[in-house]
Structure formats: structure tokens, C-alpha cells
Structure 1
């Protein structure tokens, strides 16, 4: 039976890349977006061009009150598009960056990061759990910045660190259902994260490249295949792990 994955924040960047690699491996995708409906529909078209099924649904991870309705939209999509009542994989990818020194970080910045990267992941997973098939998979996205520090990312990295701990607890609590849960932690990647700072700022790009054993920063194609591979049928014995995909950043 075809596997169905939900990938949050898949209208661009790592989420888009992950969704496409899932499709290339024979999976179908429900992808979410917040503001970029046209971009999301373009990803749907790309997935369908690969011969797979796809559906785009709007989701604001900061709005936990909207999660029950989102779950109902997922339920309806599963019924109408696939004739099923369960999906198989959840990739909690959606997020944003907000860089500020510790002594300059505002409460609004802190709340924005925690609400999306931790609280949103926690309660979205909870809302979708009744629809997740036994034997399924959850992959939560973290960051290489939970292992090494770079000034300005204290609140962001702390929220991602919370997700890493959550992944371990989910792996233990969902283990009896055969659900494997892991964290993927990318290093510096050339996307439009932080307005494309790593991609478009030569000095910052070079600084991160010097920190990396393989001598460059990453691109989405370095990360998406790893996530898609973790969802493969032959990876079910990997659970509760933090997998860094950084090219050997600061080793």
C-alpha cells in the first residue's frame, strides 16, 4: 500500500525538497503552507508530475486553536483523495528563524519561536496522532545549533533542543504502536531561512563553510533525501535518535 506523509512547511526550502524526495521514492504527500498558497500548489503539481498524489492544506503552527479543524481537513483529504482514514508519516518541518543576541531578544521573539518550533510541534502531533497509522514514522526537524553555538540563535536553538527531548519521549511512548520517532538536525543550509542569510551573505556562508569538515554549507538536496530515507520501510528499527546532517560541522 502507498505510504502517505504529511510534511509541514513544504511550500519551499527543506520541506519542499523533502516532499519531492518522498514522491520520488513512491510516496504520496499532504503538504502544508501558511501564506504561500501558489508555491504550495506548484509543489503539488511537481509531485503529481512524478506520478504521485498530493494535497496542500493551510496550517499556521502558531495557532494551536486551529489544530482540531486542521485534523478534520486531513481526515477529509484522506477520505476524498485516498479512500483511507489513516496516514503513515509525519514530518514536522515548518518553522522560521529570528536572530537576536540574548540581551536583545524580546518576549515576542521568544514566544514566536517557541510557539512554532516547540508548542506547535507538540500539539499538532497530539492532534494528528489518532490519524497516524500504527507502524508509522515521525521525523522532527531540529538544528545543528543545538550541539554547537553561534551568537544570536539562543532562543531558536533552545526551542529546537526542546523538540529533540520531545522526540525521545515520543519514541518511548509511541513505541508500543510500532511508531518510530527521530530528529534530523541540519547544519547551515542555503535556503531562504532568515531571509536567505546563509545563501546570500558571502561572509556568513564562508564562515559556516570554514566550520564544516566537507568545506561548504549544505543545500536542500543534502537533507531532503535523508528525511525521506528515514521513512523507508527498511528504516523502522531506527528510533529515538538525533541524526545531524551537517557535513561535519564543528567536529
Structure 2
């Protein structure tokens, strides 16, 4: 896999960071994007390189579609300078943020911010990068276990992820002739800093999630990132248009 390159949005922390490491361990070169955590992104790149891998980091706000064309140009320059390539092989649409608000209390501004990052951003970033995505490559879109089970306060966030799951099936259909596989990975609640880090720092919440999970504990980023990385290898080359939930068996 040493000649393969993956792009991971939101790769400076949490699941994106863990995914970048998992991909590098499988021998892929990795480009991560970050919104504002430049130092954290640089640390991810440095750690991958210290372990013998290859990586780069680029700034990107996935909620601003007007910036995507310029980002594609920057990405092309990095691919050319660092790897002497004009394209990359796998796109992992991971960047995002959490929002917990009841349906009656969710504002239009909150809804729009979720839409811009979690659905509109994914839709048009993927469209913009499509000419740079190599044939026989793949796309992994990060969804959420909340598209299957429901918890109060997740209506807007889960609705965006539901849209991503539908979009992924359409992308698989339309990109199949190019040999591009498209799948979604739906994590359960993980002990990361996502959503303010409540699941990471709250022992009571961790205990509740563990009690509601068949494997008896809350998930870690590494539990999910390995699934994403595997979808970017030939090991799962016959898996397409699928929703894979990696939740440890939450709320069965």
C-alpha cells in the first residue's frame, strides 16, 4: 500500500487523528485537514513521519464551500511536490462537530451550521475533489450510530448523518463504473473530545454507555479508526454501498 494516498478531513484530533495513524500503519501516505488546530495537525504529521510514514497537513473549513476550489489547488500542489502524483486514492469525510439540542429548541442557525459541515460540505467537497480521486479508489463517509438508535437532543445532527448515508449509496452507484467504492462507518459514542469531551471525562456517562453496550464499555477512537482504515485497503475491496456500524453493540 506504500503507493496509496488517503485524505482525512478533520484529522488533527479524535477519530480523524486515530484514522490517520491507522492508515499510516497500513502503509498509506496521509494528508489530513484541520480547521484551526494547526499545532495538533503538525504533531500528527510529525508522529507519522517519526514512525516511518509520510504525511502532510492542510487547513480547511469544511463548512465553507467557497474555499473548496482553492483547497483542491493546494492539495494538487502537495501531491505533486511530495509524491509526484496528480491524484489520491481514498477520501475519508470525517470532519464535524456535535450538537445536543432538543427539537423544539434547535435554532435555524444551529441547523444551518450542522448542514454546512455535515452534509453540504461533504457533498460539495467530494464533488470538487472527484477529478483528483483515482479510479479503483474509495470514499468513507463517517456517519453515526444515532441514525439507528435515537436519544433526545440528536435530531438535527442525526438527520444530517442520515442524509450522508443516503448520499453514500448514490455515490456508490454513480462512481462504481470508475471502480470507486463508497461506504459509511457509523460510530457509537466514543471517549474522545467530540462534543466537548463529555463522554471522555464523565465517569457516570461512561458507565451508562458501557451498560448499554453489548461489549460492556464505551468505545475508543481506535475501535473505529481500524474499520475506516480497512475500508481503504484491498482487504475489503468487495465491500461497497454499505453502512458499517462500529458501536460495540450499543442499544440493541
TM-score normalized by the length of structure 1: 0.98
Deviation at residue 119 of structure 1 after TM alignment:
0.5
Question: How far apart, CA to CA, are the structure 1 residues paired with 2:101 and 2:13?
Answer: 24
Residue aligning to 1:243 = 244
Q: Structure 1: which 4+ aligned runs deviate by more than 6 Å? A: none
Question: How far apart, CA to CA, are the structure 1 residues paired with 2:165 and 2:4?
Answer: 25
1:182 aligns with 2:183: yes
1:70 aligns with 2:71: yes
Question: How far apart, CA to CA, are the structure 2 residues paired with 1:162 and 1:47?
Answer: 33
Deviation at residue 174 of structure 1 after TM alignment:
0.1
Question: How far apart, CA to CA, are the structure 1 residues paired with 2:92 and 2:14?
Answer: 14
Residue aligning to 2:202 = 201
Residue aligning to 1:191 = 192
Residue aligning to 1:119 = 120
Gap regions ≥5 residues in structure 2: none
State how 1:1-251 maps to structure 2 within 5 Å: 2-251=3-252
Question: How far apart, CA to CA, are the structure 2 residues paired with 1:112 and 1:172?
Answer: 28
Question: How far apart, CA to CA, are the structure 2 residues paired with 1:93 and 1:58?
Answer: 14
Gap regions ≥5 residues in structure 1: none
CA displacement 1:85-128 (0-9 Å, x = unmatched): 01000000000001101111011111111110000000000000
CA displacement 1:128-155 (0-9 Å, x = unmatched): 0000000001000000000000111110
